[in-house]
Structure 1
Amino acid sequence: MAERDPKQGGGFERCPGTSWEDLMAQDSRTAPAILTQESYEYLGSDPIPAERYTSEAFAQLERERMWPYVWQFAAREEDLPEPGDFVVYENAGRSFLISRQDDGSIRAFHNVCLHRGRKLRTDDGSADTFQCPFHGFTWKKDGSFSHMPCSWDFKHLDPKDLTLPEAEVGRWGGYIFLREEPGGPTLEEFLAPLPEHFKRWRHEECTTVIWVAKEVPANWKVTAEAFMEAWHTVVTHPQLLPFSGDANSAYWFWGDNVNVNLVPFGVLSPHLDPEGKSQQWIVDEFIKYNGRSADNYDPSGDPYAVSVPDGQTAREALGAAMRKSYEEQTGYDHSEATDAELLDALVYNVFPNFAPWGGYMPNIVYRWKPGKTPDTCIMEVRILSRVKKGEPIPRSCELHMLGPDEPWTAAAELGGLGPVFEQDMENLPFVQQGLHCSKNGKVQLADYQEIRIRQFQQTMMKYINGELGARK
């Protein structure tokens, strides 16, 4: 633990009430060490300069000093399952072709014709060659040059020098990453300890069943940081308070790149008066939130529709119901799965913009990418679902790109998540505007509940200042 400065505040305080550690001790199954061993230290209480979110000059530093040197989540294996399948991945001023080769390997090439600079592809697809639509310069899917029209007029070009520039590719857990500049930590080193934690949850056995994206009128860091803490629930998402221990969440981090927010469900928020609110009331409120309050609702077969037995908590009852439901749906044995892994939001974040949920429920995966200006970004939400044991992994669903005037609720497939994201959208544009007109130019962070944001910001500044990234 780092020494704390008494002038800067405590740094280690927690919300009164049932803690995450208490809930793990009370779980109906023995919780693994990854859910019980706290990893946290005081990182200081200094404010964050507002210009990091608003300045084009700072965004340019990100493009030059950070993005080329980090491992970026670019695609999932099920996005390009067959040889010849390719995905166009674009971020921070770069465009890449991620291509499945005949031997099953994956390579990533800069998606730019080496003749006049046109993008070779603008959409995902399948092809053995990449031909430029402008003049017909053509490359094989392994990036080697194939041919060009009017080759007699290009005697000064050697085909050996026309290989498409390539980025590094790493693969883990069904995820495909790329890094523009070679060198630095391996993917496994960059992700640690994420691969060890996710051994239990096996995302490589999942496929993408929902995929929605939208342009957000806020900086990519403003938007990402809105999903790095749970305590804004008390004002922004009050409908979650009856069954969410928002302020009793745990916030841990490891090294520079990985952190987690462990948010318990099936418990009453410490912001609510517990008087008259039974364990059954918590379950009933959880059912209402999940859209089961309609007059024609039929509880038969609904895993959430449980009656809490005497002596049990809402978490235990809901955990038992979900354990049984997931076993039936997937064919996998979940007998040792904790209530936390079946119910809670185990929200990990990998620097700079990859956030997969842990646990056994259908897993949410967030990705945020900077927009054309510091005042916009693209937010993507994937939902992964475990494929039934013994069955092949199907190709991912198509991306549903919402229009600029469409709310998240227009993506009906998101269910109850859509209204939650819309509540966040009611804040984010005004956060961005407020940062531009801030008098003191400072963003103040909580010592504990916003520790993930502070770790994220400190890591980013290590790249900006040359401590990480740039190869000398």
Structure 2
Amino acid sequence: MAESDPKIKAPPQITGEPLPRCPGTSYRDLALADTNEVPEFLYQDVYENLGSEPIPATRYTDPTFFELEKEKMWPKVWQFAAREEELPEPGDYVVYENVGKSFILMRQEDGSIKAFYNVCLHRGRKLKLEDGWTAELQCPFHGFTWNNDGSLKNIPCRWDFSHLSDQKMQLPEVSVGRWGGYIFIREAKEGPTIEEFLAPMPEHFKRWKHEECATALWVGKVIPANWKVVMEAFMESWHTVVTHPQLLPFTGDANSMYNIYGDHVNLTVTPFGTMSPHIDPEGKEQQWIVDEFVKYNGRSSDNYEDKEAAAGGFAVTVPEGVTARAALGESLRETTTRMFGHDVSFASDSEMMDALLYNAFPNWSPWAGFQPNIVYRWRPWHDVDHCLMEVRILTRVPPGQEAPKAPAMHFLTDDEKWTAATEIGILGDVFEQDMENLPFVQQGLKSSANGEVQLANYQEIQIRQFQNTLMKYIEA
């Protein structure tokens, strides 16, 4: 569609020379043909040409670099630590741990949340080992006790600690940021607010309101690969053609749009309900696209309709002259409104089916739109060669109902595959396909002859943005 078309309201914001794109239908073309209006920011190109320099392989394999991340990056960034529904009542707490440090997030009587270092100020024992509820924070070693607001309550044998004042024994706090139902912590006292750090996500998500959602399921597994290796696999869609071939009939993998916003946020928009440009369209009907979507898409609301979905009850018939995207969008609007009680009749086809994946530096990635939303988090796991990958699904809380307390994470053992988490359905098969690559990426990086990682200029631009931001912290 020509740039002079009056329907085009969002001109590109590109710094430097525009980068080549996959020939054929663009995401903008699909957005402008949508049944309902698509938010402009979902089809507006926003990126900067970041060049073509390789990434040193040692950033993924070197224990010294891993230590630099722990020292210079992690304490200075906002880290997604919990969801509001994990600690709904005063006295509820969550233990959040990362790169050798442990924190307690505690719901206060006034509904606010405080976060403390999970350390007894006497001899250093962890105060809590797992999530729960408590009327006080008492150390299991000698019984030093604090109130839930961090103030000192009791020192056993106080006569022997005349050198310790109540003020000195206040539990040290870390900064807390709350947005969209998510709770973040940051060790550094100074820095951008959580809204500034995540911009433009707070503005974009006013439409999707994750504060109206709750965690429906939560699965985690330790992966034998560096946290950046695993996370970066979810920053681009074009590996679908080889790694996830079953998705190609309804996934425009190479038609994806990759936006970057400053240092900390990017957005991948991958269209569903349209064939991959890697597939020969000859003889392929719109109904075939829909049928493949229903079989292999693991995120849409039909997968959460329990008995009906289990019985294969979700079906979409494409009328004559209607596209697969339009037929799926209409069906998903109706299904979502019926299941979750939120009227989404205004929503675009894009917001009902496409992969709208935001990445927030350094390790948190929520999907957007009006379907049940995937939320990823990756954390280093003890050393440079392992990480914990977590997958949540958020669903909308029906109007007038209280959000249910979040379930505990289903922690898969080393010998369990993602498919053992039957609650995530077909997504388990997709993640297993990723696992056929990622441990061997880590092994390969250690054997690299030239010590370099090469990136695509456009389709992997978000990885380059991430790496550039990481180095700003390391070199500061």
Query: Do these two structures clear the TM 0.5 threshold for a shared fold by scoring above it?
Result: yes
1-structure distance, mates of 2:41, 2:187: 32
- Report what 1:2 is aligned to: 15
Does 2:251 align with 1:244? yes
Say which SS state the counterpart of residue 385 (structure 2) adopts.
coil
* Amino-acid identity (%): 63
Native 8 Å contact 2:15 2:47 kept in 1: no
In the alignment, residue 459 of structure 2 is paired with which amino acid? Q
1-structure distance, mates of 2:33, 2:312: 25
- Report what 1:429 is aligned to: 439
Q: Return the offset for 1:155.
A: 1.8
Q: Return the offset for 1:394.
A: 1.2
Using the TM superposition, name which of 450-459 and 27-36 deviates more. 27-36
- Report what 1:403 is aligned to: 413
- Report what 2:4 is aligned to: none
What runs of 5+ residues in structure 1 fail to find an aligned partner? 5-10, 467-472
- Report what 1:305 is aligned to: 315
Say which SS state the counterpart of residue 40 (structure 1) adopts.
strand
Native 8 Å contact 1:299 1:305 kept in 2: no
Using the TM superposition, name which of 26-35 and 298-307 deviates more. 298-307
In the alignment, residue 39 of structure 1 is paired with which amino acid? V
Go from structure 1 to structure 2 and tell me whether the alpha carbon gap of 1:99 and 1:156 turns closer, same or farther (over 3 Å shift). same
After superposition, residues 376-455 of structure 1 pair within 5 angstroms as 376-455=386-465
1-structure distance, mates of 2:310, 2:265: 41
Say which SS state the counterpart of residue 177 (structure 1) adopts.
strand
Native 8 Å contact 1:303 1:321 kept in 2: no
Residue of 325, 330, 334 corresponding to 1:324? 334
CA RMSD after TM alignment: 1.6
- Report what 1:8 is aligned to: none
**Which digits, 9 at most, give the CA deviation of each residue in 1:25-83, with x for residues without a partner?**
11111111121221112011100000000111111111111111101100000000000
In the alignment, residue 278 of structure 1 is paired with which amino acid? E
Q: Return the offset for 1:333.
A: 1.8
1-structure distance, mates of 2:53, 2:344: 44
- Report what 1:61 is aligned to: 68
- Report what 1:121 is aligned to: 128
Q: Return the offset for 1:445.
A: 0.3
Native 8 Å contact 1:217 1:429 kept in 2: yes
In the alignment, residue 138 of structure 1 is paired with which amino acid? T
2-structure distance, mates of 1:331, 1:232: 36
- Report what 1:469 is aligned to: none
1-structure distance, mates of 2:179, 2:167: 32
With structure 2 as the length reference, what TM-score do the two structures score?
Answer: 0.94
1-structure distance, mates of 2:474, 2:290: 47
Q: Return the offset for 1:216.
A: 0.5
- Report what 2:324 is aligned to: 314
- Report what 1:229 is aligned to: 236
2-structure distance, mates of 1:190, 1:71: 8
In the alignment, residue 376 of structure 2 is paired with which amino acid? Y
- Report what 1:107 is aligned to: 114
Say which SS state the counterpart of residue 192 (structure 2) adopts.
coil
In the alignment, residue 202 of structure 2 is paired with which amino acid? P
Q: Return the offset for 1:302.
A: 6.5
Say which SS state the counterpart of residue 116 (structure 1) adopts.
coil
**Which digits, 9 at most, give the CA deviation of each residue in 1:384-434, with x for residues without a partner?**
000111211111111111111111110000101001001111101000001
Does 2:25 align with 1:25? no
After superposition, residues 169-318 of structure 1 pair within 5 angstroms as 169-289=176-296, 304-318=314-328
1-structure distance, mates of 2:297, 2:342: 25
Say which SS state the counterpart of residue 374 (structure 1) adopts.
strand
Q: Return the offset for 1:298.
A: 7.6
Does 2:19 align with 1:12? yes
In the alignment, residue 191 of structure 1 is paired with which amino acid? L
Native 8 Å contact 2:308 2:314 kept in 1: no
Native 8 Å contact 1:168 1:178 kept in 2: yes
- Report what 2:7 is aligned to: none
Q: Return the offset for 1:93.
A: 1.7
**Which digits, 9 at most, give the CA deviation of each residue in 1:130-149, with x for residues without a partner?**
11111111111111111122
Q: Return the offset for 1:290.
A: 5.0
- Report what 2:91 is aligned to: 84
In the alignment, residue 450 of structure 2 is paired with which amino acid? N
2-structure distance, mates of 1:252, 1:303: 37
In the alignment, residue 460 of structure 2 is paired with which amino acid? E
Native 8 Å contact 2:219 2:411 kept in 1: yes
In the alignment, residue 446 of structure 1 is paired with which amino acid? A
Go from structure 1 to structure 2 and tell me whether the alpha carbon gap of 1:334 and 1:66 turns closer, same or farther (over 3 Å shift). same
After superposition, residues 29-48 of structure 1 pair within 5 angstroms as 29-48=36-55
2-structure distance, mates of 1:110, 1:229: 35
What runs of 5+ residues in structure 2 fail to find an aligned partner? 1-13
Q: Return the offset for 1:3.
A: 3.0
Native 8 Å contact 1:304 1:321 kept in 2: no
Residue of 349, 372, 387 corresponding to 2:359? 349
